[in-house]
Chain A
């Protein structure tokens, strides 16, 4: 069955996708089904897919647009009333089409333009992002920032209703420990980029569709109770960061750096400050015995 509008919800935000072409069950990757909802929610973002080049629109913006970023797949401009994201595939993993997105300032309304996708491709392609870019990160970086949130490179778990994040540089053991925690019946929310937001007094973590190597993701969420920075070791040990001087660089390296104006960056840094002051962060060393799972459970419970 095809329709021209679909709704997806994550982190309390509903994304309404409108399209000039019919959206089928196979337009987006099957994992999006986890996030599909029946209609708009309280907090809504609208993405509209158009299948032509937006030259007239861009020309209207030309006189006032400033290029703010140009690297790899991206050219990004800002005008007085919009952000313009031009995506062109560069890397082997990129989608095989170009697209232009015109986002209003708060990113609540997004128009995506492409002439590289026809009706047949659109119906069957299993796109990985609702923006049709290589990911929806440019969208969520901004809208989470406006909601006391951010994106963090980490694996997220729901442990009996308590949320934990596993962070650390590549090779630190996130995937290894995630497998252990899954074997210990902890529910994985996402294994690459976790969404954090603060809808009330508590920080929450949210599963989302930006997954990494572990294909099983969840649309679930949980109140954030701890962040663990992993370190390879031959012992099992969990030590609280008491000194922020060691913690701040680790946390800053883990944050997905958004494209934001000064006000947006100020909000993001305030969120980071609040996170550090609210959520206990630990250095976690673990061996391959799996015994660390018990240590984590004891700590959180």
Chain B
């Protein structure tokens, strides 16, 4: 899983404001107690990103998230792991999630 450890639990940032539009998410990061945002603090996810974002709950280990999604979507764990890893990396890079 490259540099993303399977036993790590991730939580969403507390500064995110979420709006769902047709299975996609707009994630707006509000800095300075919520009074400032800008282009580089507004993100959009596709449907896959939206599903993974909702499952990052501060309680579930990454490996368990992959297992659950693999079962729910009837897809191989390898494929799911590849998607999840890429999206989790992206979320981490944008400071949308943090490891606990």
- Decide if A and B are genuine partners: yes
Q: Which residues of A are interface residues toward B (Cβ below 8 A)? A: 66-69, 76, 78, 244-245, 248-249, 252-253, 257, 259-262, 265-266, 269-270, 272-273, 276-277
B82 at the interface (CB under 8 A from A): no
Q: A257-B39, A265-B37 are in contact. Are A69 and B32 (CB under 8 A)?
A: yes
Q: Which of B26, B36, B37 contacts A248 (CB 8 A)?
A: B26
Min Cβ gap A101→B in Å is 16
Q: Are A248 and B24 neighbours in the complex by a CB distance under 8 Å?
A: yes
B30 at the interface (CB under 8 A from A): yes
Closest to A274 in B: B21
Q: State the 3 A-B residue pairs at the shortest beta-carbon distance, nearest first.
A: A269-B19, A262-B34, A68-B35
Q: Which residues of B are interface residues toward A (Cβ below 8 A)? A: 17, 19-22, 24, 26, 28, 30, 32-39, 42, 44, 46-47
B-chain residues with CB within 8 Å of residue A76 when the two chains form the complex = 35
Q: Are B34 and A276 neighbours in the complex by a CB distance under 8 Å?
A: no
Min Cβ gap A202→B in Å is 19
| Distance A276 CA – B20 CA, assembled complex (angstroms) | 11
Q: Are B26 and A259 neighbours in the complex by a CB distance under 8 Å?
A: no
Q: Are B19 and A252 neighbours in the complex by a CB distance under 8 Å?
A: no
B-chain residues with CB within 8 Å of residue A67 when the two chains form the complex = 32
Q: A244-B22, A253-B39 are in contact. Are A265 and B44 (CB under 8 A)?
A: no
Q: Are B44 and A257 neighbours in the complex by a CB distance under 8 Å?
A: no
Q: Are B44 and A266 neighbours in the complex by a CB distance under 8 Å?
A: no
| Distance A261 CA – B35 CA, assembled complex (angstroms) | 5
| Distance A245 CA – B23 CA, assembled complex (angstroms) | 9
B-chain residues with CB within 8 Å of residue A68 when the two chains form the complex = 32-33, 35-36
| Distance A266 CA – B34 CA, assembled complex (angstroms) | 11
Q: Are A244 and B33 neighbours in the complex by a CB distance under 8 Å?
A: no
Q: List 5 A-B contacts (CB under 8 A).
A: A68-B36, A69-B32, A248-B24, A272-B21, A276-B22
Min Cβ gap A277→B in Å is 7
Q: A68-B33, A269-B26 are in contact. Are A262 and B17 (CB under 8 A)?
A: yes
Q: Are A78 and B19 neighbours in the complex by a CB distance under 8 Å?
A: no
Q: Are A269 and B46 neighbours in the complex by a CB distance under 8 Å?
A: no
Q: Which of A69, A253, A269 contacts B35 (CB 8 A)?
A: A69
| Distance A146 CA – B26 CA, assembled complex (angstroms) | 20
Q: A265-B17, A266-B17 are in contact. Are A252 and B34 (CB under 8 A)?
A: no
